């Protein structure tokens, strides 16, 4: 059963939390290794009462077994949060943080973060655009020299 079908009648807040947990799990599994450090970080950031820990772990487990792609889940979350662009940016920042928590930032994690950013309509920052333009300028000068 699709995880979203199971939780479809939950509140928007609960669906958002579930969505973040799913994206986090998908990202952490992207490099082939979902570490205890990553799991602990997810639970730390997802503030919860101790009595909900087992529920959150069960959702992480469900998300880990889910066969849908990170893009599939990102599209659902983006639709749910269409009017909350700042929260979509927070989710993306959280994913980036998770990708670095184990001190290994893989190409798979980078690709997944870029996919989510595209679905969330989050473009490069001004700094990133300037950095890219400078990099391209130097490439052109090096090729022309």
DSSP string, 106-142: -HHHHHHHHHHHHHTT-PPPHHHHHHHHHHHHHHHHH
Please tell me which residue, 22 or 33, carries the higher pLDDT value. 22
Q: Do 88 and 78 meet the contact criterion of CB atoms below 8 Å apart?
A: yes
- CB neighbours of 96 closer than 8 A, spacing ≥ 6? 113
* CA dist., res. 36 & res. 13, Å (int): 26
The number of beta carbons lying within 10 Å of the beta carbon of residue 110 is: 14
Extents of the domains making up the chain: 3-144
Q: What is the DSSP string of 47-77?
A: ---GGGHHHHHHHHHHHHH--S-HHHHHHHH
For the domain covering 3-144, report its CATH number. Answer: 1.10.3680
Residue 39 has pLDDT above 90, yes or no: yes
Per-residue pLDDT, 145: 52
Tokens of 38: 């990553």
Residue 32 has pLDDT above 90, yes or no: no
Tens of pLDDT, residue by residue over 78-96, are: 999 999 988 998 999 999 9
Q: Which residue has the tokens 């969330």?
A: 120
pLDDT band at 142 (very low <50, low <70, confident <90, very high): low
Residue 141 has pLDDT above 70, yes or no: no
Residue 119 has pLDDT above 70, yes or no: yes
Tens of pLDDT, residue by residue over 43-79, are: 998 888 999 999 999 999 999 999 999 999 999 999 9
Per-residue pLDDT, 31: 85
Q: Do 79 and 9 meet the contact criterion of CB atoms below 8 Å apart?
A: no
**What is the pTM (predicted TM-score) of this model?**
0.82
């Amino acid at each position: 059963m699709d995880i979203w079908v199971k939780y479809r009648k939950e509140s928007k807040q609960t669906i958002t939390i579930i969505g973040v947990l799913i994206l986090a799990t998908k990202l952490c599994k992207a490099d082939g290794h979902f570490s205890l450090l990553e799991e602990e970080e997810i639970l730390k950031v997802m503030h919860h009462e101790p009595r909900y820990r087992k529920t959150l772990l069960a959702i992480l487990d469900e998300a880990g077994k889910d066969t849908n792609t990170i893009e599939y889940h990102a599209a659902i979350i983006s639709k749910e949060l269409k009017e909350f662009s700042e929260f979509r940016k927070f989710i993306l920042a959280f994913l980036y943080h998770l990708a670095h928590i184990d001190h290994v930032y893989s190409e798979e994690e980078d690709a997944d973060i870029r996919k989510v950013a595209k679905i969330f309509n989050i473009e490069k920052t001004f700094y990133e655009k300037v950095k890219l333009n400078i990099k391209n300028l130097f490439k052109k000068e090096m090729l022309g020299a």
